[in-house]
Structure 1
Amino acid sequence: MTTGLLRVLLTSAGRRVELLNCFRAAADRLGQRLEVLACDLTPGLSAACAMADRAAPVPRATDPGYADAVLDLVRRHGIALVVPTIDPELAPLAAAHPAFADLGCRLHVSAPGVIDIARDKQRTAEVLGASGVPVPPTLPPEALRDDPAALPWPVFVKPRGGSASRGLAVIDRPEDLPPAFDEPMICQPRLSGPEFTVNLFVDAGGTLRCVIPHRRLQIRAGEVEKGRTERLPVLRAIAEGVAAALPGLRGAACFQVIEDAAQGPRVIEINARFGGGYPLADHAGATFAQWLLEEATGRPCTAHDAWRDGVEMLRYDAAVFRG
């Protein structure tokens, strides 16, 4: 068990001050000395980098040298745990997993196959649907052009590899479907009903230890701004199906569900990382950050499912001042 100073690196830190604070609070509960490093493309403009103990610049996550830059930080600072926060960095980091392990660093990523599925919404629908997880019918635009009756109209169109609510559109009629798009897209029936994020924690041995849904009461830029935890057995059952369909899933992850009035709950996407609304789960007692620190330091994992129902989060803007 590690009892000395533990260094954690938060990558693509951006505005993730709440996540950083969750790790600090977790270390306090464990009596673990902790130093949090953060990196970003422009750390001088990152609130989380400003709040970290140290900060460093790295290339864009899509740069071929990104994983090597993160590995260099691990090597120079003796980092024991790396926590990615955005989708584009997951694949390059997962591919470099053996190099992190050689340095004695725990890289918080799922298996590359899981990352590939989660980053591709068409494959997400196909893999989950084949495993019995309820998903909406999903087609590429070219298939829908060939057979406009394949989906009910209007349809929801979004990037096949998008995130943060980028590039979303509703198309009312087949004749309004553009002849081409600037990037690969998918089409799904427009679902209507309450939206949920389901956070889940899978331990290092592959066991699903916690499922905590929250109702998305208000959204901003694809991230929950107001939410409330709700213990719903149907969402627990869906989470078990997601974990079974993705046996390489590890650590913190989340998926989005729309409870359509006609079709019932449908999973629309997966994030194989900490979701933006994770601080609500943490406050409700699903302390994923603590459980990762336990695994990284060789402590017994205390992961559980006894979180508090009905906990609400009402976010507001705050500022970091310097100079």
Structure 2
Amino acid sequence: MNSKPLSVLFTSAGRRVELIKCFVAAGQRLGLTLSTHACDLNPGMSSACQVASQAFAVPRCDHPDYTAVLLDYCIRHDIDLLIPTIDTELYPLALARESFLAAGTKVHVGGPSTIEIVRHKARTMEVLQSHGVPVPRTVCFDSAADIPADWEWPTMIKPSAGSASRGIQIVDNAAAIPASFHEPMIAQQLLKGDEYTVNIFIDAQGELQTVVPHRRLSVRAGEVEKGMTVRRADIDDIAAKLAGALPDAEGVLCFQLIDDLDHGPNVFEINARFGGGYLLADRAGGRFAERLLHQLCKPSDWAESQWKEGVTMLRYDAAIFLD
């Protein structure tokens, strides 16, 4: 392609070393010169910040100056594409994406309406169910008294706005539910069966373009550690309904489902961003990173990639040393 050099900024970069590598490899396949930037609260302690071309510190994403700091950096460093990596920064960036675009930076995030839905699990289940997506029974609660009398036990409880498996508990009965919580909680029907992550790409017109599911063979800290890509027509159908339920979704999203032994596939989570398991979809040929870079150069020109079933990922720990 040999277009102008591009600059990509990864926010809340943390340990997303492999995601940066996916973009670098995508740029090489397209013949692009790519400059990678990364930020975090403490970039000196972020492995992803160490592998990026440039890194800098930012305030917490709930700080009122967060988007202003990012926008200033994007303007000064001519950033073409901003890639958020955690859920809590999605909404402020969704609200500010037009300001970034006016400055020449495309923020990879859906619109505020979609982010409002996916950031609250009970709302997510309600919207998906209304569009024919199978979901587990879910209820908001402040105390055990709010749980319906006909509820099935044991059940899962978790924060309504949680992520990375934070705060998840399995409780056997209402008496086992703590007396109080520091944040809104939900109880959710406990599903049993194989778990899948489904990476999808939705174009700027809201049309679902690609669906790459993988079975989660092993999970650590909420992210897939071992997985294998699979093709399933029923998952493709669920993905199409899910995409139609999100009013202004765009770009890369992933969702999780469990193929319950009694109830079949049920969606229980959506992340409106690159997920930790994207590496497997990329390796299999989904190449969503490549598509985003390509759109910056030739928005109307893209050849759909073909991805492979049966590609297996075995993640491991690696180290970066600072001398």
3-state SS, counterpart of residue 313 of structure 1: strand
- Residue 291 (structure 1) aligns with: 291
The alignment's C-alpha RMSD in Å is: 1.5
* Contact 1:291/1:303 (8 A) holds in 2: no
3-state SS, counterpart of residue 214 of structure 1: strand
Q: How does 1:75-224 map to 2 (within 5 A)?
A: 75-142=75-142, 145-224=145-224
Per the TM alignment, residue 143 of structure 1 is displaced from its structure 2 partner at its CA by 7.9
Q: TM-score, normalised by structure 2?
A: 0.97
For residues 162-209 of structure 1, the C-alpha deviation after alignment (integer angstroms, 9 at most, x for no partner) is: 000000111111222233222110001111110000000011222211
* Contact 1:144/1:151 (8 A) holds in 2: no
Corresponding letter in the other structure for 1:109: V
- Residue 37 (structure 2) aligns with: 37
3-state SS, counterpart of residue 286 of structure 1: coil
Do the aligned partners of residues 262 and 303 (structure 1) sit closer, same or farther apart at CA in structure 2, a change above 3 Å counting? farther
Alpha-carbon distance between aligned partners in 2 of 1:33 and 1:161, rounded to the nearest angstrom: 38
Alpha-carbon distance between aligned partners in 2 of 1:303 and 1:134, rounded to the nearest angstrom: 32
- Residue 229 (structure 1) aligns with: 229
Per the TM alignment, residue 109 of structure 1 is displaced from its structure 2 partner at its CA by 0.4
% identical equivalent positions:
52
Alpha-carbon distance between aligned partners in 1 of 2:218 and 2:164, rounded to the nearest angstrom: 14
Q: Which runs of 5+ in 2 are unaligned?
A: none
Q: Which runs of 5+ in 1 are unaligned?
A: none
| Of 37-46 and 171-180, the range deviating more from structure 2 | 171-180
Query: Are 2:18 and 1:18 aligned?
Result: yes
- Residue 317 (structure 1) aligns with: 317
Corresponding letter in the other structure for 2:310: G
Alpha-carbon distance between aligned partners in 2 of 1:314 and 1:178, rounded to the nearest angstrom: 37
Alpha-carbon distance between aligned partners in 2 of 1:311 and 1:246, rounded to the nearest angstrom: 29
Corresponding letter in the other structure for 2:114: V
Query: Are 2:274 and 1:274 aligned?
Result: yes
Per the TM alignment, residue 147 of structure 1 is displaced from its structure 2 partner at its CA by 5.0
3-state SS, counterpart of residue 149 of structure 2: helix
Moved over 4 A (4+): none
Corresponding letter in the other structure for 2:96: A
Query: Are 2:50 and 1:50 aligned?
Result: yes
Per the TM alignment, residue 122 of structure 1 is displaced from its structure 2 partner at its CA by 0.6
Per the TM alignment, residue 280 of structure 1 is displaced from its structure 2 partner at its CA by 0.4
Alpha-carbon distance between aligned partners in 2 of 1:64 and 1:241, rounded to the nearest angstrom: 35
Do the aligned partners of residues 161 and 2 (structure 1) sit closer, same or farther apart at CA in structure 2, a change above 3 Å counting? farther
Per the TM alignment, residue 303 of structure 1 is displaced from its structure 2 partner at its CA by 5.7
Alpha-carbon distance between aligned partners in 1 of 2:18 and 2:150, rounded to the nearest angstrom: 43
Do the aligned partners of residues 185 and 162 (structure 1) sit closer, same or farther apart at CA in structure 2, a change above 3 Å counting? same
Alpha-carbon distance between aligned partners in 2 of 1:46 and 1:56, rounded to the nearest angstrom: 10
For residues 108-144 of structure 1, the C-alpha deviation after alignment (integer angstroms, 9 at most, x for no partner) is: 0000010111110010000001111000111012486
- Residue 61 (structure 2) aligns with: 61
Alpha-carbon distance between aligned partners in 2 of 1:181 and 1:277, rounded to the nearest angstrom: 30
| Of 309-318 and 145-154, the range deviating more from structure 2 | 145-154
Do the aligned partners of residues 103 and 2 (structure 1) sit closer, same or farther apart at CA in structure 2, a change above 3 Å counting? farther
Alpha-carbon distance between aligned partners in 2 of 1:111 and 1:82, rounded to the nearest angstrom: 15
- Residue 73 (structure 2) aligns with: 73
Do the aligned partners of residues 44 and 244 (structure 1) sit closer, same or farther apart at CA in structure 2, a change above 3 Å counting? same
Alpha-carbon distance between aligned partners in 2 of 1:107 and 1:87, rounded to the nearest angstrom: 14
Alpha-carbon distance between aligned partners in 2 of 1:146 and 1:250, rounded to the nearest angstrom: 36
Q: TM-score, normalised by structure 1?
A: 0.97
| Of 222-231 and 181-190, the range deviating more from structure 2 | 181-190
